Amino acid sequence: MTAINHMPEVDQGAAVAASQSGVRLWAARANRALGHVVAIPAALLVLAEIVVLSAGIVGRYVFHAPIIWADELAGILFLWLAMLGSVIAFQRGEHMRMTAIIGMLRPNARAFLDVVAAAASLAFLLLVIHPAYEFAADEVFVTTPALEIVNSWRAAALPVGIGLMLVAAVLRLVRIAGLRDLLTAVALVAGIIATLVLVAPVLKPLGNFNLLIFFVVIVGAMVLAAVPIAFAFGLATVGYLALTTSAPDVVIIGRMDEGMSHLILLAVPLFVFLGLLIEMTGMARAMVGFLASLLGHVRGGLHYVLVGAMYLVSGISGSKAADMAAVAPVLFPEMTKRGAKPGDLVALLAATGAQTETIPPSLVLITIGSVTGVSIAALFTGGLLPGIVLAIGLCSVVWWRYRGEDLSHVKRATGREIGRAFVIAIPAMALPFVIRAAVVEGVATATEVSTIGIVYSVLTGLLIYRQFSWRRLYPMLVETASLSGAILLIIGAATGMAWALTQSGFSASLAKFMTALPGGTPVFLGVTIVAFVILGSVLEGIPAIVLFGPLLFPIARQVGVHEVHYAMVVVLAMGIGLFAPPFGVGYYAACAISRINPDEGIKPIVGYIAALLIGTLVVAAIPWISTGFL
């Protein structure tokens, strides 16, 4: 009888397992279909932005007949690009999050926290979908000045994007979670939200203590649990506004729209695409090849080449991931042949990522300009020398480590070979100067100049290097939309959080504290360096800037620090945090691009981080390095 009773249980278990497998298979197919449906218009939007901005340049500079509606149309398309890009990033699981802590856990615990992170993201999307619809509906009463259409055409991107992410979130939960983990994670997230709602009467009288609860404890817990940063910021802000203030829910959508709608941020997707383009056309390989022929016979020579190549490529792409992806595959094989250890390679690659954060056209500099009002052109000018100061520090460490390297087996390049490599690299090395000249001479704005770089790179790839793959173009456009959407959603969510912090009076309290610090400017800059090293490791560069830039830059002016000098100190300190293990996300990006285990680079990177810190202190102590050419 026991055997007879047991068989149906086995059959029932197998049936349940088969049913779950079938549901997951259906969810995976639906997720792929959603990806295709969203990717095509997102790719077309990237192309449309390039065309519209290029037309604006030609109309204004060539025909002296500005297209008055170009910027307005670009702004409308930009919000749609940002939201559809966010959907692609969500569908692919590419939204930025900190995985350093959960990466140390056992596989079962890590898998469960992935489900919790997806459930938390779903909760945020559910909470804001209706306010997003209300916001778009209210915009029907606003007419755009140039195109004279209702602003709902633009604002509709928010509810549509959030709705599509909502679908993607449900599909992700079905794909990655078993029934038990799914129910447990949903119950956990719902339980925490319900508890906060129940204790809301207790929270309101606490005043600014709620900032600690929502924006330190709750955000910190979500970030450490690998909830995507944008959704952690958003969920905490919604909770803070709904439970401790009388502000309507639609406010957070308005602040997100404001944060994502700065036209200067349009440079983000365009420079991301430019970075991918220079790698595909062979321009990056040409530059690195010339530097290798020049210094390959010197002790540690290719390490110097790596530092120099990252400096040059950063001046083109503006995206650190694109920079590292362009340089590492070209240099690392030869460096490994010469005996370089993998750990040292990835350590130096990560360190150069931090070193080149100020090289124009850095996305972080563009973000600083957009949220603080500092001149983008001034930031671009001021960012060149600080990168060189840090490069000297890194090269000093390279010299010390490789001063006894055996180069008896290395053949020195002849003058003819160097000359040939130089001639080949000239079109590629000219690009940073073309971009800078276009901005300085007034041909294009900081937003538009990327399109000049794109056109230049396409023509160079087609006519000179003959390395232009039309098949790779569509995946590159989709990747551009995905990465840009992930970045811009963080900016939108962080803008909402920054607004909540400002409205609470926190900014005034922070200003009072910072201005009251003893020691004047030196102490203020020292505290800034420590704070942004920590913030860079936890929040990454762009969200940290969006959150704290509007608060701290006015204070810097009050204590007598030039805004460009302060921007360089902030960016360099933040870059160190971003690329320093164990929490720096940039370090793990370098490891992923290099295909090197993160453990191997932990020890070698210590010396490089020390050099970066010394260089940052030098930049902080000598304002002329940042402002001498303004």
- pLDDT digit string (tens) for 48-79? 999 999 998 888 888 888 888 988 999 999 99
State mean pLDDT over 311-325. Answer: 68
Q: What is the pLDDT of residues 99-147, one digit of tens each?
A: 767 877 888 888 899 999 999 999 999 999 999 999 999 999 999 998 8
- What is the structure's pLDDT at 79? 95
- What is the structure's pLDDT at 315? 58
Threshold 0.85, pTM exceeds: no
Task: Decide if 132 contacts 125 (C-beta within 8 A).
Answer: no
Q: In the predicted model, is pLDDT for residue 28 greater than 60? A: yes
State mean pLDDT over 198-212. Answer: 88
CA end-to-end span of the chain, whole Å?
A: 90
- List, in sequence order, every residue forming a beta bridge with 143; answer none if it has no partner: 150
**Taking each helix axis from N to C terminus, what angle separates 320-337 and 267-280, rounded to the nearest 10 degrees?**
30
For tokens 């639609």, the residue is 250
Number of other CB atoms surrounding residue 453 within 10 Å:
26
Q: In the predicted model, is pLDDT for residue 447 greater than 60? A: yes
Considering only CA atoms, which of 117, 324, 320 is closest in space to residue 222?
A: 117
Whole-number average pLDDT of the chain: 84
Tell me the torsion sign for CA atoms 448, 452, 455, 458.
negative
Task: Decide if 582 contacts 541 (C-beta within 8 A).
Answer: no
Q: In the predicted model, is pLDDT for residue 43 greater than 90? A: yes
Number of other CB atoms surrounding residue 553 within 10 Å:
21
Tokens of 290: 């010339």
- What is the structure's pLDDT at 84? 96
State mean pLDDT over 277-288. Answer: 82
Q: In the predicted model, is pLDDT for residue 507 greater than 80? A: no
State mean pLDDT over 200-227. Answer: 87
State mean pLDDT over 426-436. Answer: 83
Between residues 274 and 460, the one the model is more confident about: 460
State mean pLDDT over 17-33. Answer: 78
- What is the structure's pLDDT at 8? 44
pLDDT band at 194 (very low <50, low <70, confident <90, very high): very high
Number of other CB atoms surrounding residue 21 within 10 Å:
10
State mean pLDDT over 422-449. Answer: 81
State mean pLDDT over 599-627. Answer: 92
Between residues 259 and 605, the one the model is more confident about: 605
User: C-alpha dihedral over 145, 150, 151, 153, to 10 degrees?
Assistant: -130
User: Phi then psi for 355, rounded to 5 degrees?
Assistant: -60, -35
Rg (CA), the chain: 25
Tokens of 70: 């170009």
Q: In the predicted model, is pLDDT for residue 15 greater than 70? A: no
Winning range, highest mean pLDDT, from 318-327, 516-525, 600-609, 610-619: 610-619
Tokens of 46: 């990237």
- What is the structure's pLDDT at 50? 92
pLDDT band at 5 (very low <50, low <70, confident <90, very high): very low
- What is the structure's pLDDT at 565? 95
Q: In the predicted model, is pLDDT for residue 193 greater than 50? A: yes
Gap between the Cα atoms of 506 and 517, Å rounded: 17
Between residues 287 and 315, the one the model is more confident about: 287
User: Phi then psi for 596, rounded to 5 degrees?
Assistant: -120, 135
pLDDT band at 46 (very low <50, low <70, confident <90, very high): very high
Q: In the predicted model, is pLDDT for residue 316 greater than 70? A: no
Task: Decide if 92 contacts 35 (C-beta within 8 A).
Answer: yes
Tokens of 513: 């504290």
pLDDT band at 319 (very low <50, low <70, confident <90, very high): low
Instruction: Let me know how many helices (H) and strands (E) the chain has, helices first.
Output: 30, 0
Q: In the predicted model, is pLDDT for residue 478 greater than 90? A: yes
Number of other CB atoms surrounding residue 438 within 10 Å:
22
Q: What percent of the chain has pLDDT over 70?
A: 92
Q: In the predicted model, is pLDDT for residue 445 greater than 50? A: yes
- Residues with Cβ within 8 Å of 566's Cβ and at least 6 positions away in sequence, in order, are 525, 528, 552, 553, 556
- What is the structure's pLDDT at 616? 95
- What is the structure's pLDDT at 241? 92
Between residues 510 and 618, the one the model is more confident about: 618
- What is the structure's pLDDT at 619? 95
Sequential DSSP letters for 529-547: HHHHHHHHHHH-HHHHHHH
